[in-house]
Amino acid sequence: MVKLKEFLKADHTQGGPVLSIGDLIDTFIRYLEGQKGYSRNTIRNYEIDLKQFLRFWTSKTASPDHRGSQLCRKEPDPLVIREYLGSLFGRYRRSTIARKLSAVRSFFLFLEKKGLINKNPAADISTPKREKYIPTYLPVDDVFRLLERPERERPLGLRDLAILEVLYSCGLRVSELEALNVSSIDFDERLVRVIGKGDKERIVPIGVIALRAVKEYLEATRQLRKKAGVDLSKGPLFINFKGGRLTVRSIARIVKRYARECGLSSEISPHSLRHTFATHLLDGGADLRSVQELLGHASLSTTQKYTHVSLDRLMEVYDKAHPRSK
């Protein structure tokens, strides 16, 4: 691991510090992994966002050293960051731009604390206002159509069914589903131990039908797991045909494929089933605080976006049932 003090090199020709960009990113990412406890998904997004920003930054201020490496010979400027954010509008949603700014701000805060820069140039840059949107969700009939689609005669069909059932039954993030092990499920108590954002653990119930789908899938893949050397009780819950853990990208492809085959929107994703889980609970009378706990939201305000959907349902019921609604 490269030491931070090696990043600052005397530059007598330019009169300023020289920062090794790639090494700084790598050190910051290791810091997030080792000390901050961020989820793998968050860390991956931060790394992508930072490399995108630093490509923009180096295009404005970098020059090669004697080895051909790109080195920044100027401390970061708020104007460069504002110009970078301006280049993102029209290409990304505001929520994505806000995340990219958060990555940049955290990165420069890290450099400031390490004494590598004098001041965080992103500290005073305002976060873009996020769009208010109604989450994509499925009506109950469409969910049932989706869940009936996988072929139950094949192990892959049983796997896909179990994935869809668990996503809808438990409201998990796709990264949380990916990380599940067989030991994460208490089959007797019908509970699932989930590791969420920031490695926070929560316990969520799992429905009888989803649990049955998981049991049938595990039984159908018993020989594959043995052949691949996968621990039958502690190994990954969802595996590919080689016995390796199924990736987030593969899970997303599975959900989109079945949605497409059912004639549903192309926007349907694993996160749509999480939205559907929350919406159906609220429509069924669940209180907002309970749904917050089940989803693993740190703030109730994050959960409140689902009330917009439920209010539509309430208005529909009101208009049909109240004698003086019209």
* 62: enclosing H helix or E strand: strand 62-64
Decide if 297 is catalytic: yes
One-letter identity of residue 124 = D
Catalytic residue among 38, 168, 258, 306: 306
Catalytic residue among 100, 225, 256, 274: 274
CB 310 within 8 A of CB 276: no
Decide if 306 is catalytic: yes
Which candidate, 206, 259, 227, places its Cα nearest to that of 155? 227
Distance CA 210, CA 161 (A): 9
Decide if 274 is catalytic: yes
Phi, psi (deg, nearest 5) at residue 26: -60, -40
Catalytic residue among 159, 225, 271, 280: 271
SS3 readout for 2-18:
CCHHHCCECCCCCCCCE
Catalytic residue among 93, 193, 245, 297: 297
Decide if 271 is catalytic: yes
Catalytic residue among 173, 225, 275, 280: 173
Catalytic residue among 197, 202, 245, 305: 197
CB 178 within 8 A of CB 245: yes
How does DSSP classify residue 116?
S
First to last CA, the chain: 70
Active site residues: 173, 197, 271, 274, 297, 306
